[in-house]
Amino acid sequence: MAIPIIKTWMRYFSKDNDEGLGSSYERILVNNLLQELIKEFGITSILEVPVFGFTGISGINSMGLAKMGLKICLVDNNPERITFIKNIWQETTLKADIFCCDSFSELPFSENSFDLSWNYASLWFVDDLTNFLNELNRLTTKLIVIFVPNRTGLGYLSQKYFSGAEFVKYLNEKAIIPKNIIRIMNKNQWKLVRRGFIDNPPWPDIGMSKHEFLKLFGLSFLIKTEKESKARNCILDYYKGIDPDFKNRMLKHNWFEKIAPTFIKFFWAHHKYLIFRKT
C-alpha cells in the first residue's frame, strides 16, 4: 500500500535492507511473470517507470530481469531517491541506466526505444494518466505491462479507510482503475491480451511488518520467539548471489496462489496485472 511508503521509503535503504516477507514474496511472483513474457516475446530492452510505488526498497523491481542480461532503464522523479537507487544497484554486479525526470509525461528517450515498458503499483503517482500512457506508447514496441493494487481487496479497502484524507491528498486513485487504463491503451492501438490477479499469499495485505501489525491489535504474543520477530528478508542477498535459495523459500508460500478460485482472489489478492500488446 502506498501511504506507508510515502513516509517510510528511506528506511528500506538502511544497512540491513530488510523488506519483510510480503514485499519479498510479491517481487518473486512479479519477476516470474515478467520473465515468462520476456522469453515468449523475445524481449531484450526494458523500461520501468515510475519505479516508486510500494513498500520496500525503491528501484529494484527490475533486478531480477537484469540477471537475465537485458538492457534495463529506470525512471523516478525524486533526486534524493535516485541517489539511493544508484547506490543500491552499485552494490550488485547488475547494470541499469537510471534517470531522474520531473515529468513522467516527457521522458528523455527516442521513439521505439524499448521492447517492454512496465510499472508496479506506481500509477497513482502519475499526475496525468493519458499523457503518461501516450508516452509509453511512443517508446514501446512489443508489450506494456501494468500492475495495480486490487481495489476490491480487503487489504486495500481497509488501508484506504484508515488513511483517511491522506489517501486523497497523496494518491491519484483514478490512475489505477483498470477500465481507465484499458480505454487509453485501446485508443493507442494496444490490445489487452491478458489480465488477472497476482500476489495472493496466505496473509492479508497489511502494508506493514507482521510484528507491527500484531502489535497494533495487542497481539504481539503471537510472535512466538525473538528470532521469528526479527527474521530478515532481503532479496538483495539473492541478487548478489549470497542467498541463492531465497526464491525457493518465497515460492513455498505460493500454495494459496495456486489453489484459490477467482472469487476468493477478487477479495484477497493484493494486486492485478494488465498485459497489452501492440496491434
Q: Which domains does the chain have, with CATH numbers?
A: 2-278 (3.40.50.150)
Q: Counting Cβ atoms within 10 Å, is residue 4 exposed (0-12), middle (13-18) or buried (19+)? A: middle
DSSP state string for 88-141: HHHTSS---EEEE-S-TTS-S--TT-EEEEEEES-GGG-S-HHHHHHHHHHHEE
Strand partners for 194: 275
User: pTM above the 0.75 mark?
Assistant: yes
Nearest to 266 by CA among 198, 203, 208: 198
Residues 6 or more apart whose Cβ sits within 8 Å of residue 141: 112, 114, 115, 278
**Grid coordinates of 18:** 530488510
Angstrom distance (rounded) from CA 117 to CA 73: 9
Residue pair 268/157 in contact (Cβ under 8 Å)? The answer is no
Task: Please give the backbone phi and psi of residue 142, each rounded to the nearest 5 degrees, phi first.
Answer: -120, -60
pLDDT in tens, the chain (279 residues): 556 678 888 888 876 788 888 899 999 999 999 999 999 999 999 999 999 988 889 999 999 999 999 999 999 999 999 999 999 999 999 999 999 999 999 999 999 999 999 999 999 999 999 999 999 999 999 999 999 999 999 989 988 888 888 888 888 999 999 999 999 999 999 999 999 999 999 988 865 555 555 555 454 554 454 444 456 788 999 999 999 999 999 999 999 999 999 999 999 999 999 999 998
Nearest to 57 by CA among 272, 190, 268, 238: 238
> Distances in Å between the alpha carbon of 72 and those of 63, 114, 118, 190?
9, 9, 11, 22
Quote the DSSP letter at residue 175.
Answer: G
> Distances in Å between the alpha carbon of 156 and those of 64, 205, 232?
26, 7, 25
